[in-house]
Structure 1
Amino acid sequence: MPLKQDTPFKATLKASGSKVLTPISNEDLMGALKDFKKEMLTSNKALSELQDKQCRYVKKLIFSRQKVARLESNNSEELPKTVVIEALQEIFEREKCQSNLIFYGVSDLSSGIASERVAHDKLTVQNILQSLGDSVPQNPKLIRIGKARADTPRPIKAIFDNKQSAMHLLSAYNTARRSGCSFPDGFRIVSDKTNLQRKLLRECHLELVRRTNEGEPGLRILFENGLPKVGKILSKNGGPQLRIRS
């Protein structure tokens, strides 16, 4: 029986090792479709589990205690949409912040000429960080943030090409500081933070001051699953080691 021109073929091996083309039967096609369907279901299940994990993490990321109370009072049908919008915004902002660092304690030039202020900031930062050598990325974008004050220099936001450059510089700075390297009084480098991260930290600092003033000893700001909390340092047998913020 002659074969149609669009009949699919598959290659099979003869005993001699040579290949020969044979028509693909309906059973072969159905078997291939079943295998494909099975792989798709397995892939979708894995993707769904990953999305569930990300969703659980995002909820921890987004909700402070006050926000949970507010959202729980809303219509339950509106809650998922609110969570998704805030989560996406927070994830986007955090991704941007990872390529930035904040410099404190860099003298602020009071010149009315913008180009002079920019040149001053660039040169001053280079001089402060010269002991770090090759760890300092070339030509980061420096932006003063906040309103000018006579008693305190404004912080500088340093924007780098990628987050690896920012992380490498911050690590080199912390290592140098721990090893006794001298930096100007008041100078420090910290990672950039989103509005939500700063809000949660402010709340933790207020809680730390309040509980300390009430006589509770040994309190610190700790980080657990990326979220700040006020607590005590656990002993080796008392649970997992949490990252401490001074």
Structure 2
Amino acid sequence: MSTTNKSKSPMITTGSKPATRSGTPTNGDLMQAITGMQASQSSQFRELQMSLASVTKQLADLKSDNLVLRNEVSSLAARIAILETDHIVPANDDLPTKVLREISERNSCDLSVIAYDVPESSSSSPNQRIIDDTTELSKALSSINTTLPTDIKVVRLGGHLSKKPRPLKLIFKSKDEAANLLLKFRQSIRNGCNISNSLRLVRDKTSLERQLLRSSHAELERRKQAGELNLVVKYINGVPSVTRMQPKNGAAGQR
């Protein structure tokens, strides 16, 4: 039985490239994806830089606030030590408690300003008295081109013990409003502005500050009666103290 060998035909190839399979990314697709990733990373980096700058600023503000608080605590501790020396505050009262109480009261006082010599309303209506007091105060402040906020609260302090107007407490919504009013008032006084009705504005004081001030004035009177001259109450490191008046420029050389 004979077998026949069949020769296979050779495959014919051409010079053309094989077709790209469907879904395979091209170089253009890859470059577009890389560009998109770079843009996204650049955006995220900018956001990170902005966040870092914000955190850095907040940290600086926190350090500043902490320094102010530490200084206030040191000042309060010094005042309390003076009070305890003068036997004004019982020695068995806990110092940290007094410091915290003073800080809390100080924060409240920072919202307030005390006004003196503001004509007092004679109305029997509480609401009308508030309106009259606010109007009188606004008139007095008009001489320094200052207007009061509409949401301010005014309260008369003390009872009717004399014909003199009672002090008027101004309570603001923010510490900045109270501080700005005091600053503008003091600048006007230094510039020789004629304040109507002999108006006086001072910052509100805590109970401890009032005790210290009364103690200093009592000491001033005792020393004056003992024959000491040229004494005055002056704030030194935030604490009222009795000290001698410094001679004015030129007076020291006159003998």
TM-score norm. by structure 2 comes to 0.63
**Matched position secondary structure for 2:201:** strand
Q: Which of residues 76, 80, 96 is equivalent to 1:62?
A: 80
| 1:130 correspondence with 2:142 | yes
Paired amino acid for 2:114: I
| 1:231 correspondence with 2:243 | yes
Percent same amino acid among aligned pairs?
A: 32
| Large movers: runs of 4+ above 6 Å | 50-54
Point out the more displaced range, 149-158 or 114-123.
Answer: 149-158
Q: Which of residues 91, 96, 113 is equivalent to 1:84?
A: 96
- Tell me how far 1:68 sits from its aligned partner: 8.1
1:1-246 alignment, distance < 5 Å:
56-63=74-81, 64=83, 65-67=85-87, 70-71=90-91, 74=92, 82-134=94-146, 136-233=148-245
**Matched position secondary structure for 1:221:** strand
- For residues 172 and 68 of structure 1, the distance between their equivalents in structure 2, rounded to whole angstroms, comes to 35
CA-to-partner distance for each residue in 1:34-59, whole Å, 9 max, x for gaps? xxxxxxxxxxxx9xxx8987765442
Query: Which structure has the bigger radius of gyration?
Result: 2
Aligned-residue CA RMSD (Å)? 2.8
Can you give the 5+ residue segments of structure 2 that lack an aligned partner in the other structure?
1-62, 249-255
Aligned match of 1:4: none
- Tell me how far 1:125 sits from its aligned partner: 0.7
- For residues 67 and 214 of structure 1, the distance between their equivalents in structure 2, rounded to whole angstroms, comes to 22
Structure 1 contact 103–155 (Cα < 8 Å) conserved: yes
Aligned match of 2:40: none
**Matched position secondary structure for 1:60:** helix
Can you give the 5+ residue segments of structure 1 that lack an aligned partner in the other structure?
1-45, 237-246
TM-score norm. by structure 1 comes to 0.65
Paired amino acid for 1:225: N
CA-to-partner distance for each residue in 1:81-130, whole Å, 9 max, x for gaps? x1111110011001110111000111111221111101101111111101
- For residues 234 and 150 of structure 1, the distance between their equivalents in structure 2, rounded to whole angstroms, comes to 36
Distance verdict in 2 for CA 1:235–1:107, change over 3 Å? closer
